[in-house]
Structure 1
Amino acid sequence: MHRTLYDVLTATVDSHPDKLALIAGPHRLTYRDLAARVAGLAGRLQADGVRPGDRVVICAGNRVETVTAFWAALAAGGVAVVVGHEQRPERVRHVLADCAATVLLALEPMARSLTGLGLPASVRAVLPVGAEDTLFAGTPAPVDVISEDLAALVYTSGSTGDAKGVMLSHANMLTALDSLNEYLRNGPEDVFLCALPLAFDYGLYQMIMAFSQGATLVLERDMSLPLQVVKDIARYRCTVVPGVPVLFELVEQFSRFGMPDVSSVRCLTNTGAALLPRHIAAIRRLFPGADIYSMYGVTECKRCTYLPPELLDVKPGSVGQAIPNTQILVVDEQDRPCPPYQVGQLVVRGGTVMQGYWGLPDETARKIREHPVRGGRCLYTGDYGYLDEDGHFFFKGRIDEVIKVRGRKLIPRDVEEVLRSAPGVAEASVVCTALDDGDHDIAAFVAADPAAVDASALRAACRSGLETWQRPTRYEVLATLPRNSNGKVDKPELLRRYPVPTAALAPAGAPC
């Protein structure tokens, strides 16, 4: 039985020392090679002052150094904090200060920028990636860490507010790992392809799952070169391919140049944004022999639900049933269980539920509460949706994106579904903003060819599919929608580029 997440790696090193663990650019590491690098860096972290519970911030992108540093932080007894290397230095500095990090490991340009900004007083050492021979300092000293101790802080994307550090214990992450491995049927013969950021928990767990099974991880730098991703799937005979809709869309666009043999793929997974029917159809064309797992989760408890592949056509639009060893419930505003098909807030009960938000006790108390039926702690996800009569969840949107319009709750996803049904629309995103005068700006952004789709066509679709109070007040037709590093539509960026216009402040009742 694993006591800590680090035990997962050491057990695999013992059982598969000469198995190929990692392919990352020019690097080919067996589990024995990886263990040596991890031990050397863990020794260096301890020499630089890392003690059990100290935070180690890792900002190096999808590189072998990030993989090594994650496990080395655990080996040293520390808490791993992986953040996106593409972020602004000011945001990374905020993370350093917020979690009172002891050590920063970063790409040299980021390390220089952060040093120039002035590092928080807690930071005792900066290890620049690019000078690998200076990163290793021998075998680490044993540490006294148990399953209840923190293993990682995963910062939320901040898509609906300020990023928060989600505290995950070793027990949290081991519980999630066991559940994921069970329903995805992962094994040592698998080869995982990961083009997702390791700073995104969906990407991070691909590495953890692969190493827990003695499988091989093929780590791509990012999703920007879909042809390279597909070529590597074929080259390394990958069997597990996690993605988000934008990755599948890119692969489909570039498939016209020819698809190599990808028959090795046994399963494709998706989370972060819903798979639309066109995504499913494209995946089936591109990977005809693969099972498709549509999934849903939040950083605060890793994964909530999954839809077994055989139910993909039976339960269209659903993100599935509770993952193994987890219970889900939908409640109304009075914390009463909702009957089937009634929209309410999703509540999750199980060992994956976070310990809380780092340094934010009030925010934690709003999320971690007593279960309304079973008692004990549970997570109020802040997500709206409903359960059908079989207990399958249908996601509708985030509570903090929902606003009251003329006394009724407007769920942006309801509007987005109607917009996506309009001819020529590839994608839609709706952002609702409450205005000072009590009115609302309901902005609809669609990805489409501006020469083929205009606001009048979108307005017509909304007139036929929505109530008057649900209809957008303005429409923007864009070639593509901006995305954050996790592959989700970046709604704050949309509002930054297309702020509420003066015309949106017209008196209530203006025509939509």
Structure 2
Amino acid sequence: MNICTFLENSARDYPDNIAIVYREQRVDYRTLSMLVNSLAGTLTGHGVKKGDRVILLLENSIHYAAWYFAVLRVGGVVVALNTDTTVKEVEYVLSSCQPKGVITNKACCQYLPENNNVDFRIIAVEGLDTLDQSIAVCPIIEVDEGDDLAQIIYTSGTTGKPKGVMLTHLNLSSNTESIVEYLRLTSDDKIMVVLPFFYSYGNSLLLTHIMAGGTLIISHQFVFLNKVLEMMINEKATGFAGVPSSYAMLLHKSNIRGLKFPHLRYMTCAGGALSPANIIELKKILPCVDYYAMYGQTEATARLLYLEPDQWMERLGSAGKAIPGVELRVMAKDGQDVRIGEIGEIVACGLNIMKGYWGDPEATREVLKDDGLHTGDLARIDEDGYIFIAGRQSDMIKAGAFRIHPQEIEDVIIEMPEVVECAVAGIPDEIMGEKVKAFVVLQADLCLDEKDILRYCKKNLPEYKVPKVVEFVDSLPRTTSGKIKRYALKEENSKHEYRNTK
């Protein structure tokens, strides 16, 4: 099944439902389907055929969604890029995936290299005046759903050069169906979208709500938190999706405590673990709203684990169990399942697991093995099968004979009411190899010093996990998907150390 069928089914079943709210514009499913057909005709005119890659360099909007489904309709492969980019980064992707064409807007044209070697470039214009109803129906191209690509998502590159994750129509449809099932999404749901569609979490919001016949409420104003909250109330949003930094900002920099959200049914968090302290605070503010902790990877299309809302207190800190259709193991280095409470690597199997990395068979072989996708994420499992994420293998701090997971330390520091965010990383140490350093963001107008942090850590952590250094920073470096760039913290520390030696 071609993923574009999701849209066609909703246009048939819910033609008058509003599909997307964007600025002053509202488009229903009937009109969105017609717009997609019109744009598909344009792509056919440019010679786009099955398997051709087409780059989308667009912000979230009605036209992003329309071009996305238009590319799929003609059998093309969507390659959506971050609009906060550089010429060099776009050049890298152009060289990597050799696209047939690029669809962008006036603001992003500056990022296209002069010699881009693409057959066409389309400057998208917002509004429905581009809708050409005279174009004949452009048929949905049939695909081999388990083999034909629908999308290539370039990873945000927390550890190096981005890799192109190849996702088939089956990968996307299976993961979308699972998410719709466990979130119990219907055509009555309206999701507040502040996450970019080019990112796998944002992409899942687009697909799940189009499949369900629901509404996507798009905002680019998350820096103006109270405006987003006001929009949620006015548009009667039933859902909100964010990464941990989204919730930290809502809790510490918005008026969320003074507002009522009578229509809000659920909130989801992925892209990293929300600290137990922040979960507890969120539930105090919104006790009647279901909170879903989730975990996944781009290589798994989006989602692998979720925690049922009624388990958040009993399993505080857990990412839950496997989503429908996915099998998970927590595996020791010898390939055997770990014992309860021990740390191992999450290995996943399911129809949502990527086909591989575009043009990189060696990197593909490193993670896709006979027993499944080796995620590189460490976790433990309890007696009831619930999984608790410990962190990335690459993030582990090696201090002498000790192996320390940063998240455990971060969760303790974030309990302090003065702290907004915290990241922990290992920095070089002549004796131990590495030592623990905490980078801490404080609430505005509140003060703590290093001794306060260390005193609290000593009360709540074993001595070898207590940070040896604390640095107060204004913000933490993050990828566009909201994940902390620990390597950037290490690099900045090294530069700081070097400057101090001169």
Pairwise same-fold verdict (TM > 0.5): yes
Matches within 5 A, 1:165-184: 165-184=164-183
Which amino acid in the other structure matches residue 479 of structure 2?
N
Which of residues 19, 28, 46 in structure 1 aligns to 2:44? 46
- Residue of structure 2 equivalent to 1:161: 160
Deviation of 1:421 after TM superposition, in Å, equals: 4.5
- Residue of structure 1 equivalent to 2:395: 401
- Residue of structure 1 equivalent to 2:56: 58
Which amino acid in the other structure matches residue 443 of structure 1?
K
The answer on whether the counterparts of 2:422 and 2:438 sit within 8 Å (CA) in structure 1 is yes
2:312 matches 1:317: no
Structure 1 residues 489-498 or 321-330, which shifts more? 489-498
3-state SS of paired residue (2:27): strand
3-state SS of paired residue (1:158): coil
CA distance in 2, matches of 1:351, 1:184: 19
Deviation of 1:83 after TM superposition, in Å, equals: 1.5
CA distance in 1, matches of 2:59, 2:92: 18
CA distance in 1, matches of 2:69, 2:99: 17
2:274 matches 1:275: yes
2:500 matches 1:502: no
3-state SS of paired residue (2:330): strand
Which of residues 396, 400, 414 in structure 1 aligns to 2:408? 414
Structure 1 residues 343-352 or 465-474, which shifts more? 465-474
The answer on whether the counterparts of 2:87 and 2:110 sit within 8 Å (CA) in structure 1 is no
3-state SS of paired residue (2:92): helix
Which of residues 417, 424, 432 in structure 2 aligns to 1:430? 424
CA gap of 1:410–1:252, structure 2 versus 1, over 3 A, is closer
Which amino acid in the other structure matches residue 489 of structure 1?
I
3-state SS of paired residue (1:499): helix
CA gap of 1:494–1:130, structure 2 versus 1, over 3 A, is farther
Q: Which runs of 5+ in 1 are unaligned?
A: 372-377, 507-512
Deviation of 1:484 after TM superposition, in Å, equals: 2.9
- Residue of structure 2 equivalent to 1:375: none
2:259 matches 1:265: no
Which of residues 442, 448, 456 in structure 1 aligns to 2:442? 448
Structure 1 residues 453-462 or 143-152, which shifts more? 453-462
CA distance in 2, matches of 1:382, 1:41: 40
- Residue of structure 2 equivalent to 1:341: 341
The answer on whether the counterparts of 2:91 and 2:113 sit within 8 Å (CA) in structure 1 is no
CA distance in 1, matches of 2:230, 2:78: 32
Which amino acid in the other structure matches residue 382 of structure 1?
G
CA distance in 2, matches of 1:313, 1:286: 15
Deviation of 1:480 after TM superposition, in Å, equals: 3.2
3-state SS of paired residue (1:426): strand
Deviation of 1:161 after TM superposition, in Å, equals: 2.3
1:407-465 per-position Cα deviation (integer Å, ceiling 9, x unaligned): 44232223323433456333221122568998335432111259622223333444555
CA gap of 1:456–1:251, structure 2 versus 1, over 3 A, is closer
3-state SS of paired residue (2:179): helix
Q: Percent sequence identity over matched residues?
A: 28
CA distance in 2, matches of 1:257, 1:477: 26
CA gap of 1:214–1:420, structure 2 versus 1, over 3 A, is closer
Structure 1 residues 244-253 or 266-275, which shifts more? 244-253
Q: CA RMSD in A?
A: 2.6
- Residue of structure 2 equivalent to 1:297: 296
CA distance in 1, matches of 2:429, 2:93: 31
CA gap of 1:25–1:114, structure 2 versus 1, over 3 A, is same
Which amino acid in the other structure matches residue 376 of structure 2?
G
Which of residues 84, 102, 105 in structure 2 aligns to 1:104? 102
CA distance in 1, matches of 2:131, 2:187: 30
CA distance in 2, matches of 1:469, 1:251: 33
Structure 1 residues 124-133 or 309-318, which shifts more? 124-133
CA distance in 1, matches of 2:362, 2:256: 53
CA gap of 1:178–1:144, structure 2 versus 1, over 3 A, is closer
Which amino acid in the other structure matches residue 95 of structure 1?
V
The answer on whether the counterparts of 1:196 and 1:222 sit within 8 Å (CA) in structure 2 is no
Aligned length: 495
CA distance in 1, matches of 2:283, 2:126: 44
- Residue of structure 1 equivalent to 2:83: 85
CA distance in 1, matches of 2:246, 2:150: 29
Structure 1 residues 126-135 or 392-401, which shifts more? 126-135
- Residue of structure 2 equivalent to 1:35: 33
Deviation of 1:369 after TM superposition, in Å, equals: 0.8
3-state SS of paired residue (2:151): strand
Structure 1 residues 328-337 or 11-20, which shifts more? 11-20
The answer on whether the counterparts of 2:397 and 2:435 sit within 8 Å (CA) in structure 1 is no
2:438 matches 1:439: no
Structure 1 residues 60-69 or 427-436, which shifts more? 427-436
The answer on whether the counterparts of 1:54 and 1:101 sit within 8 Å (CA) in structure 2 is yes
Structure 1 residues 46-55 or 291-300, which shifts more? 46-55
CA distance in 1, matches of 2:254, 2:497: 44
1:214-240 per-position Cα deviation (integer Å, ceiling 9, x unaligned): 111111125222112111111111112
Matches within 5 A, 1:203-282: 203-253=202-252, 255-256=254-255, 259-282=258-281
- Residue of structure 2 equivalent to 1:510: none
CA gap of 1:461–1:504, structure 2 versus 1, over 3 A, is farther
The answer on whether the counterparts of 2:305 and 2:323 sit within 8 Å (CA) in structure 1 is yes
3-state SS of paired residue (1:21): strand
3-state SS of paired residue (2:494): coil
